Structure 1
Amino acid sequence: MRLPQIALPQLSLRVSVVLCTLIISSVIFYNEIIIDLPNPHSLRNFPDKLTTQIVDRHGKLLYKIYEDENRTLIKLNDLPPHIKNAFLTAEDKDFYHHKGFSPVGLVRAVYKNFTKDRLEGGSTITQQLIKNTLLTNEKTITRKIKELILAFQVENIFTKDEIFEMYLNQVGFGGTAYGIQEASMQYFNIDAKDLNIAQASFLAGLPQAPSKYSPYGENPELAYTRQKQVLHQMVKNGFLSVDELDLALTVKLEFSSAKTEINAPHFVMFVKDILTSQLGENIVNHGGLIVTTTLDLELQNLAQKAVTEEVSKLKNFNVSNGAALVTNPQTGEILAMVGSKDYFNLNEDGQVNLTTSLRQPGSSIKPINYALAFEKGLRPSSTIEDKPISFNLVGQGPWVPKNYDGRFHGTISLRQALGSSYNIPSIMLLSQNGIQNFANLAQSMGITTWNEPERYGLSMALGSLEVKMTDLATAYSTFANKGIATPLKSIISVKTRESKDLFLASCPMQMIADPESATALATDQSCSKKRAVSPLTAYLITDVLSDNSARTPAFGFNSVLNIKPAKVAVKTGTSNDLRDNWTIGYTDTFLVASWVGNNNNEPMSRVASGITGASPIWAKIFNQIIEKYPQPKEIAKPDNLISVPICTLTGTLTCDGCPTRNEYFVKGTEPKVSCNPQLVKTILELNSGNLWPKIKSHGDRKHHQKKYQNSSSVSNSFFLGFSFFLTFFLRRVPSNILILLFWNYFVYVLHNQSILLSHTETFTKHAGCLPAKASIKFSTTSLAIAILASIVADAI
């Protein structure tokens, strides 16, 4: 039998067509599918968008930074088995048995695609992972083919558990919640590892249609229906027993609020700005960093409450805002930062951080001026004249500064001048120290904003040049830290997803700019601690600011500045036009600064430093610190200091008739000469004569005399009747005289407390506490009324 003959030309043509078709198809397949197929190994770098977490020093969450995807990685081994079982049931029960795709599911999907004229699922967990990471969401045959090829490749590169872990960290759950950890936090406010079966089954049902099954959506009942479907299917798949099902169905799902939480918002944004400037927005927003900060959230909440409560009491003073800062002066760590009374009050610019805003410091800047004087050899015992002075300012005419109380106090020690915050001595010191020298020292102590010499002037002694609270805290920390200026620090560590620390511990405000190339932490000495003043000067300033008797003439003996039982160094400040009111003080372990005023710079109506305004905020925070934390240690005195009793009016050794107190001197530099009693007497008389104010804006002498006379008239009327009573029943005239004399004296002190010249320990011992003429007048009046009352009473 002969075989059919095929013409060679015809065979050759058919083969050519087939070959050409194959070649063309291969080229098309290569160009459309293979050439731009993603590298499956790149899954190791996914997800590429991770949430950065900012936490406090104890690991408590403050804020999460992300753009459109809030995601935190978690290990599969850290999750309970029922989470895996719930997701296998809801998404791909045969996941551990196929090689990346399900033939049955694929056939079913193809059939539905042809019958419904649209592309549908059938995707395995592996395919879903690829679709959400390596490919787009376009619904085309080309994309589906790529998905199948990549699924096969991925299954040959990674283990099943690795694929499942990547899926759980990548999948979306609605809104900005991506990954099982953030889904757990968003819906239940718990970590994923703590999810129970009921909660896990609910979350497992979400990825199929997050909006449809959302408990916050239009039909929240669908969320429960979907959860029950998953639970029943888990029983069918052998993942749950009937008893476990019944128990899970009885669990009530309690969903947390969907709002974004932020603690210590001003501090968080302060830290975020630092991170962004050092690392760039992309790393901060998508890098999944864990930023451990210096903040103590408990202390932060305490400080925020103090600011909010105390500012609310100042509405009648035209005060609308306040701020506070708590630091560790030894390390510079920021423990609390309250930038306003309410961050979320947009009507009052609550998001403005007043701890980093420029404000006039008022008298709170004075310790730096006195520190410069101490560096030049003066001591707290050195004396200065508090008397009328005038300065001719170019183009402005004469400037006649005044004290806050409107009085002149004569010859006083630098201790009393600083403690009672008298203005004139501070100005005189600055004129001696030199304005540029003062600015230089302030800069070395941490004031970063004094860089315009054309604005310098003697008014800087009174705080006319603006500063930041953060800078002022750094400057005061220098005194607490034995003269070492320590930059503020807000960050302890910045760790990447690979646990690499990007933070330069030796340089508080700097991070490694390139995380990829950072293998060793470099040391940058440019921002290390630096000595600004000597340990001696730092201690002397601290000793003066913690001396309650030194500030008693201005603030009273039991002011809120007197924190018991701790020895706290503290200074207040009020700007000249009542736009800013400050209090700042410290121990060896804590520094607290507070401020009140108005964001729009509108003047306050009235604020009394040390009584109202910033002081109650400061005192409330510090008192609670003393209660909650270990008692601070008294700042150590330099070994070469000795205590010597001196005359407070001359700064020399004591003599008869002179108020005395102990002062510190470097051994060998203490005074060798005693004071002159006649000179002391003259100074006392001059000081007494200076007590009546001579500044019109604070009232003239007649005004104060009238104020006193009105007060004494009331007191005399009261005790006139009281004298009749005592004399009639007791027949003891001398007691009436003594009582009436005491009453007049008491009333006088109440209304003229700020004119006491000597310290409390010398108050009852020495003259000079009352104006001479006034004392005589009151004594005579009291005596006459008492005698008259007694005579009349006896006659009755």
Structure 2
Amino acid sequence: NGNLQGGSTITQQLIRSSMLTPEQSIIRKIKEIILAYWTEKIYSKQQILEMYFNQIPYGGTAWGANAASYVYFGTDVKNLTLAQSAFLAGITAAPTRYSPYGADPSLWKSRQKEVLQRMVSLGFITQPEARQAETQNLKFQSQEIPIHAPHFVMYVKNLLIQTYGLAMVEHGGLTVRTSLDLPTQNMAEAVVTEEVQKAELLKVGNGAAVVTDPKTGDILAMVGSKSFSDTNGGNVNITTALRQPGSAIKVVTYAAALTNGFTSASILDDSPVTYQTAGSPPYKPVNYNGQFFGRMPLRLALANSLNIPAVKVLNQIGIPTMVKLGIEMGINNWNETKQYGLSITLGGAEVSMLDLTTVYATLANKGTRIDLNPLIKVTDDKEHVLFVKKEPKGEKVLPKGLAFILSHILADNNARTLVFGINSPLVIPNHTVSVKTGTSDNKRDNWTVGYTDNYVVTAWVGNNDNSPMSQELASGITGAAPIWNKIMTQLLEKHHEQPLTPPGDIVVKPCFGKTEYFLKGTEDNAYCSYPPTPTPVDSQSTTQPTPTPAPQQEEKRQNDKRPRPFQF
């Protein structure tokens, strides 16, 4: 079948790893078989097994069982407990996958249990001994990695393994050039560490950040946690983990709305509402601060990240419309065949930080999605080029004008003052920057994502165990926002102001006493007289209800007080 690797005995694996190159060829396979034959003639099975365990990789710099014992537990192999020995025996099958310092540390535990149960079935230990070993809390040595950007390095290594295989990556002598910008990486690491420490009183235990170039998909910085060597899951790369994005995902909802007849001047109603679906409890969305602001333009609803208008818009355009566009904009774990609820527009469906960054990079890149790629060039030990990055073409998923409108709303500091005030950390003085915040249920995740033509910066704070942060954490003020602000400010220090320029498919029209932007053909959809003023109203107020949109789910509106005429 063309597979030159094939099955192998322990002896063949010993010969392959100690005496031969990783090259896969018929000649090398013949050599392996012959050498294995003579090895078994000369050495006993016990000696062969001992040699095998003393030279195979156990992950990282650990080669051989005794070296691995010191790397993971800081002691000689003869001092290991049953639980520790079972861990080392299990990790050899896939050192990267089962590493306690890898992206999913729970994998090593399940592998350890497999080894212990196998020992029980073979009669080496009893079931009570296995259970006792399983419950032992293993303390691993702190990994003070003598490398820069360890989360990024491990991320790249995993990508290479997926493409070229573990043997080639660990034994093939690859030379890898990446997109990482070390000064940017060092700066971002310092900011995350400093700001997470400042936020400890808000029950913030961890933070992460990503910096990318939206034009190329280059990852310029990747900070997967506040410290890779932190024993409390510091090695877990939050940038690749699935977390709830909160309101940061609303840009997908409004992008879908703008492609389906809505405009930035469309009047939305921020008033109490209840949705009822057969077989499910009533869904009553509320705003971040528990208030209602009445009727307002879409621009203000998005800029102030109000929940109820976003849910009502999604109910009109349909959940599948949003999901489809989210996938097109870069969310890889969403599935069009899965049933999502209206809460998806408030962050009810998890995404990774890298995918969320790609979504915003699509807006920064004027509607063209360019997938993230940290690799620039890969060569083998003979300097053969295995990969070289070409100029990305990307995929056009949004009209330029639509991306411009969303970017303009997210950069409109006057529009967002209703909730965030005039001098929030979302403002970068002397620079036009589009930015959005997000906070998940019970404040388990807090985000700030912002961009210019040259940079996308995504910042996150939260806790690895998914425990909630303090209720006093204020989205856009504390938490992720200061991290985002400091990183973006330093990135833009040497850049001149780049104002947003309307593309050719935009029509400019006076609206509500201001200049408003419309996609060509939608300018007549807008009602540009003065709507009511957004004014906080508590949930107990009552007055006349407003008209109901064409529903995706049955909608029941509660009455609310009508504010006074709209003013800017």
Aligned partner (choices 470, 481, 492) of residue 626 of structure 1: 492
Where does structure 2 lack aligned partners over 5 or more consecutive residues? 1-18, 24-34, 36-60, 63-143, 543-560
Instruction: Give the counterpart letter for 1:293 in structure 2.
Output: T
Aligned partner (choices 539, 543, 550) of residue 415 of structure 2: 550
Corresponding residue for residue 416 of structure 1: 300
Alpha-carbon deviations, 1:304-339, whole Å to 9, x = none? 111111111111111100110000011111000000
Aligned partner (choices 163, 177, 180) of residue 278 of structure 1: 163
Q: Does the C-alpha gap of structure 1 residues 673 and 617 become closer, same or farther in structure 2, counting only changes over 3 Å?
A: closer
Shift of 1:393: 3.4
Instruction: Give the counterpart letter for 2:302 in structure 1.
Output: L
Distance in 2 separating the partners of 1:577 and 1:455: 23
Q: How does 1:324-363 map to 2 (within 5 A)?
A: 324-346=209-231, 348-363=232-247
Distance in 1 separating the partners of 2:347 and 2:474: 17
| Secondary structure of 1:430 counterpart | helix
Shift of 1:577: 1.7
Distance in 1 separating the partners of 2:222 and 2:276: 42
Corresponding residue for residue 331 of structure 2: 447
Instruction: Give the counterpart letter for 2:284 in structure 1.
Output: V
Q: How does 1:32-43 map to 2 (within 5 A)?
A: none
| Secondary structure of 1:577 counterpart | helix
Corresponding residue for residue 663 of structure 1: 516
Aligned partner (choices 602, 605, 610) of residue 476 of structure 2: 610
Distance in 1 separating the partners of 2:215 and 2:384: 27
Shift of 1:552: 0.9
| Secondary structure of 2:492 counterpart | helix
Corresponding residue for residue 694 of structure 1: 539
Instruction: Give the counterpart letter for 2:383 in structure 1.
Output: S
Q: How does 1:713-792 map to 2 (within 5 A)?
A: none
Alpha-carbon deviations, 1:284-322, whole Å to 9, x = none? 112222100000011001111111111111111111001
Q: Does the C-alpha gap of structure 1 residues 499 and 694 become closer, same or farther in structure 2, counting only changes over 3 Å?
A: same
| Secondary structure of 2:226 counterpart | coil
1:317·1:605 contact (CA, 8 Å) conserved in 2? yes
Q: Does the C-alpha gap of structure 1 residues 613 and 501 become closer, same or farther in structure 2, counting only changes over 3 Å?
A: same
Q: Percent same amino acid among aligned pairs?
A: 45
Distance in 2 separating the partners of 1:674 and 1:338: 45
Instruction: Give the counterpart letter for 1:441 in structure 2.
Output: L
Distance in 1 separating the partners of 2:514 and 2:500: 21
Q: How does 1:15-414 map to 2 (within 5 A)?
A: 261-346=146-231, 348-414=232-298
Distance in 2 separating the partners of 1:535 and 1:446: 17
2:227·2:234 contact (CA, 8 Å) conserved in 1? yes
1:588·1:634 contact (CA, 8 Å) conserved in 2? no
Q: Does the C-alpha gap of structure 1 residues 632 and 462 become closer, same or farther in structure 2, counting only changes over 3 Å?
A: same
Larger Cα-atom Rg: 1
Distance in 1 separating the partners of 2:265 and 2:435: 19
Shift of 1:768: 6.4
Shift of 1:506: 4.3
Instruction: Give the counterpart letter for 1:626 in structure 2.
Output: L
Corresponding residue for residue 77 of structure 2: none
What is the number of equivalent residue pairs in this alignment? 419
| Secondary structure of 2:188 counterpart | helix
Instruction: Give the counterpart letter for 2:490 in structure 1.
Output: Q
Q: TM-score, normalised by structure 2?
A: 0.68
2:443·2:470 contact (CA, 8 Å) conserved in 1? yes
- Aligned-pair Cα RMSD in Å: 3.2
Q: TM-score, normalised by structure 1?
A: 0.49
Corresponding residue for residue 644 of structure 1: 509
Instruction: Give the counterpart letter for 1:595 in structure 2.
Output: W
1:287·1:497 contact (CA, 8 Å) conserved in 2? yes
Shift of 1:271: 0.2
1:49·1:288 contact (CA, 8 Å) conserved in 2? no
Q: Does the C-alpha gap of structure 1 residues 672 and 459 become closer, same or farther in structure 2, counting only changes over 3 Å?
A: closer
Alpha-carbon deviations, 1:624-679, whole Å to 9, x = none? 1111x4336334421242322212xxxxxxxxxxxx211012456534998667xx
2:263·2:526 contact (CA, 8 Å) conserved in 1? no
Where does structure 1 lack aligned partners over 5 or more consecutive residues? 1-45, 51-134, 136-175, 178-258, 509-527, 648-659, 702-754, 759-765, 770-796
Instruction: Give the counterpart letter for 1:565 in structure 2.
Output: N
Q: Give the structure with the larger helix fraction.
A: 1
| Secondary structure of 1:549 counterpart | coil
